[in-house]
Amino acid sequence: MNRPEPVPEPEGPQAWLLARGREQRLSPTQRRVLQCLLDALPGVAFLSAAEVAEQAGVSQPTVTRFAHALGHRGWSEFRAALRDVVLAAPAAAGPVPAPDEPFDHRVAALDDERANLETLRRSVGGGGLDAAVALLAGTRPFGVLGLRASAALAEHLGYFARRVLPGVRVLTDGSTAEDGVLQLHADGATALLVLTLPRYPAATVRALRQARALGLATVVVADTPLVPFAADADVLLVAPVGRGLVFDSHAAAVVLAMSLLDAVAASDPQRTQARLEAHEALVESWEHVER
């Protein structure tokens, strides 16, 4: 099967602007500003902050904060830097797309995710996944912690984990996360799976450190090995996130979480088979089938 051709990386002013944006952890509204700038080059390099805010559908202070995030004292200073890049671009290079052919950041985001999955493919062959499976396969109950942006992934993993593992508990409420960890420990858990994707909730870090204090082994799935709480993980598994859209995309994290569950289920094939067969016996009662 032939792989689709990746979207060519932009050149000139777009490449400069995209690189600057990728260097920072921009908020969703700041990413909207970045996308507006990429789509509106070169003319946007001569607009005021108010005009950019109107085009991007954000407030003027958001445009100013975007400039600050990229290391400038304000919009005027950032605009001057961008203007220099635009004016220095060789005319023959054609770095700026025609107005009816803007740089498609959504398609480029798919290429970013493909690169993230390739990074994940290279990393899962190491000993980290095996070490995580060894810790999680023996814990009862099986606890999964994921708050805020990570809550959906925790629920997704928990839904399928309940089909093959006994005693699955999913903790997604930051106000009760520490209570949940305490109860897991009291009920005999020996390890905790923590999903923490940007931005990292303070409640996640507190619950993670509480788990360590109670003697639970911790397996952490994060987007980078450089998270400030890396020392609190017995095993740290890395799933890069896509940062090209307004909100992060988590394709690699989903694949890693499901791969981890698959490996834990495979550690006890007889139990897994028995539980799957019991689950399949219920399917006819709820699965929709066209007659």
Question: 71-75, 134-138, 148-152 — which is least confidently predicted?
Answer: 71-75
pLDDT digits (tens, 9 = 90+) for 222-245: 998 888 899 999 999 999 888 778
- Structural domains in the chain? 12-103 (1.10.10.10), 109-283 (3.40.50.10490)
User: Taking phi first (over 0 means left), then psi (-120 to 50 degrees means alpha), and beta for anything else, what does residue 281 get?
Assistant: alpha
Q: Could you give the C-alpha distances from 121 to 4, 94, 174, 240, 279, in angstroms and in order?
A: 19, 36, 31, 11, 31
pLDDT digits (tens, 9 = 90+) for 165-221: 999 999 999 999 999 999 999 999 999 999 999 889 999 999 999 999 999 999 999
Higher pLDDT, 262 or 126: 262
List the beta bridge partners of residue 5: none
pLDDT of 93 higher than 90? no
Pairing mode of beta strands 191-195, 142-146? parallel
CA 274 – CA 41 distance, rounded (Å): 59
pLDDT digits (tens, 9 = 90+) for 39-69: 788 888 888 888 888 888 888 899 999 999 9
CA 84 – CA 89 distance, rounded (Å): 9
Query: For the chain, what percent of residues have pLDDT higher than 70?
Result: 90
**C-alpha triplet 181, 183, 185: angle, nearest 5°:** 70
Task: Kindly indicate the confidence band of residue 97, based on its pLDDT and cuts at 50, 70 and 90.
Answer: very low
Whose structure tokens read 């619950």?
207
